[in-house]
Amino acid sequence: MANTTTLMALKAAEHQLAAAGQETSVATYLMQEGQGWSFTQLVQHYREPLSADQLVVYQQQVDRVCTGEPAQYVLGHAPFYGREFHVTPATLIPRPETEELVEWLLQLPATPQRVLDVGTGSGAIAVTLKAERPTWDVTATDISAEAVAVAKTNAQALGTAVTFAVGDLLAPVAGQRFDVIVSNPPYIDHNELAVMDDSVKRFEPATALFAANHGLAFYQRFAQSLGDYLAPHGQFFAEIGYQQGPAVRQLFATALPQATVTIKADINGHDRMVRVQL
Is 112 marked as a binding-site residue? Answer: no
Is 159 marked as a binding-site residue? Answer: no
Is 167 marked as a binding-site residue? Answer: no
Is 185 marked as a binding-site residue? Answer: yes
Q: What pLDDT, on the 0 to 100 scale, is given for residue 277?
A: 97
Is 121 marked as a binding-site residue? Answer: yes
With vertex at residue 182, the alpha carbon angle to CA 277 and CA 170, rounded to the nearest 5 degrees, is 100
Question: What own/partner pairs with CB < 8 Å and gap ≥ 24 does 220-227 have?
Answer: 220/251, 220/255, 221/169, 222/118, 222/169, 222/181, 222/183, 222/185, 223/251, 223/252, 223/254, 223/255, 223/256, 224/255, 225/169, 225/170, 226/181, 226/256, 226/276, 226/278, 227/256, 227/278
Is 234 marked as a binding-site residue? Answer: no
Domain ranges of the chain: 6-67, 90-277
For residues 165 and 155, the answer to whether their CB atoms sit within 8 Å is: no
Mean pLDDT score across all residues of the chain: 93
Instruction: State the average pLDDT over residues 204-229.
Output: 85
**Would you give the DSSP letter of residue 51?**
P
Q: What pLDDT, on the 0 to 100 scale, is given for residue 196?
A: 59
pLDDT-based confidence at residue 201 (cuts at 50, 70, 90): low
CATH superfamily of the domain spanning 90-277: Vaccinia Virus protein VP39 (3.40.50.150)
**pTM of this structure:** 0.91
Is 123 marked as a binding-site residue? Answer: yes
Q: What pLDDT, on the 0 to 100 scale, is given for residue 200?
A: 66
Is 142 marked as a binding-site residue? Answer: yes
Q: Which among 98, 163, 93, 169 has a CA at the least distance from the CA of 127?
A: 163
Is 186 marked as a binding-site residue? Answer: yes
Is 117 marked as a binding-site residue? Answer: no
